[in-house]
Amino acid sequence: MIGSIPAGNLIFSAALLFTGLLPSKTIRFMEQMNISTISTNTFFQHQKYYLHPSICSVWKTFQEKYFQRMKEKDKSLVLGGDGRADTPGHSAKYGSYAMLDLDLVLVVHVELVQSNEVKSSYHMEKEGLVRSVDFIKSQGLKIKEIVTDRHVQIVKYVREEMPNSVHHFDVWHVVKGLKKKLLALSKEKECERLMAWIKSLCNHMYWSAASTPSGNGQLMLEKWESVINHVQNIHEHDGDIYTECAHGPLEESARKKKWLQPGSKVAERLADIVTSKQMIKDVPKLSPGPQTASLEGFHSVINHFAPKMIGFSFHGMYSRIVLAALHFNENAMRDQATTKDGTKRFDVVFPKYKKGEYSVRKIKVDCTYEYIGQLMDVAVTLAEEKPMNSSVLDLEDVPPPLASAYEKPEKQVAIQEKISRYANVIESDLYDSVDEPSCSNA
């Protein structure tokens, strides 16, 4: 026994949640194997009184140690921020926002926002950022630099409320929008030749940012706009800073792509895209260094602990996001795996988005799960100290349910209305079929 609870029952519930499994499927699996186990109601009781508080406790301990270490170093933070909705589109119920220390590759804070806490689900990402920034500032730390996507509300907030922080855009998010426009243009008549240049144009945007470590926005923009001349075999430019291409002499015999003809439709349309108002605003803010790719990886980890096709309570969703953060922080910087003779291991894969082109990726060592041991220790300690149904819960406040804003009818009245409405429809259809003559009678 652990306190008043059978030890196996509590450990089963803890292992189920801490490893990211779903209770209904796991318990159904046990039942089909004819293995006696707890009910789903028992699991949710364990989760409410012991497992959720254990997760919050371990996460709070991690944050306290991290912030204390940053204070001792007197270091301003370089953070990446990104949001995730629990379902696609504008019907999402939950929006989570994560802050990642880009120097240490650690998720340092997560916020969970329910859609009825803001105007609509579109506003959840900004609210998550605001709460995260307020929390980090409350710890006595300064944000030196923040890297995000191009969410317009976030851009405005950082510009107005964080004047002492440098705001950069993640290059991948800008390139993703650019590629869509280039692909659409390449499908137009007389623009087919652009298809061969799309990959190079996307790479050029990455290079424009990465080759400018000083973060000089004007230089980035001139480097980016130089591509208009380059694709037309013109390698001297009218910029104030960047006046000629950085590459050496090009051997025409070794070239596979054909130059775009000056004055052609495709060249002019490409120039419109490259020099659009959106690009002029975004390119100078590209991040020359840290990117938010690791946050995309973190979102993949969340999908393991909290799949988007499953609905969770507020505490259930928050706990699973924190579990994902603990797992990510322990395993994000794993070493590369090696063979017995010490050779580093790689894998060749064919991502769907590359349409037949391959990528070479590092194979890393297996994940570790030391955080689960910490969670288990805290859960057992809580069970020993507090009886079930204890009123003392160390959990965050829960926003009201989405349905609380609507008037709920009496259940029996609603059922009767549905039954009578359905009966009237059937009766109406029956009379219509009797009154209308059939083809044979006509």
First to last CA, the chain: 82
Strands 143-148 and 106-114: unpaired
Mean pLDDT of 244-251: 86
Whole-angstrom distance, CA of residue 385 vs CA of residue 294: 39
The reported pLDDT for the residue numbered 261 is: 93
Q: Would you say residue 216 has pLDDT above 80?
A: yes
Q: Would you say residue 390 has pLDDT above 80?
A: no
Give the model's confidence band at 393: pLDDT under 50 very low, under 70 low, under 90 confident, else very high: low
Residues of the chain with pLDDT > 90, as a percent, come to 76
Per residue in 126-136, pLDDT (tens digit) is: 999 999 999 99
Per residue in 143-185, pLDDT (tens digit) is: 999 999 999 999 999 999 999 999 999 999 999 999 999 999 9
Q: DSSP assignment of 267-285, as one string? A: HHHHHHHHTSHHHHHHGGG
Whole-angstrom distance, CA of residue 245 vs CA of residue 232: 13
Spatial CB neighbours of 169, under 8 Å, sequence gap ≥ 6: 147, 148, 149, 150, 282, 285, 286, 287
**What phi and psi values does residue 125 have, to the nearest 5 degrees?**
-65, -45
Strand order in the sheet with 77-85: 106-114, 94-101, 77-85, 143-148, 166-169
Which candidate, 364, 307, 279, places its Cα nearest to that of 330? 364
Write b or e for each residue in 179-215: b if 16 or more Cβ atoms lie within 10 A of its Cβ, otherwise e.
bebbeebbeeeebebbeebeeebbebbebbbeebeeb
Instruction: Write down the pTM of the prediction.
Output: 0.88
Structure tokens at 183: 């692909």
Spatial CB neighbours of 55, under 8 Å, sequence gap ≥ 6: 319, 322, 323, 326, 375
Which candidate, 303, 325, 296, 328, places its Cα nearest to that of 60? 325
Taken in order of first residue, the domains within the chain and their CATH numbers are 1-75+368-399 (no CATH), 78-165+289-333 (3.30.420.10), 171-285 (no CATH), 335-367 (no CATH)
Whole-angstrom distance, CA of residue 403 vs CA of residue 409: 12
User: Hey, which residues does 360 pair with through a beta bridge?
Assistant: 348
The reported pLDDT for the residue numbered 256 is: 78
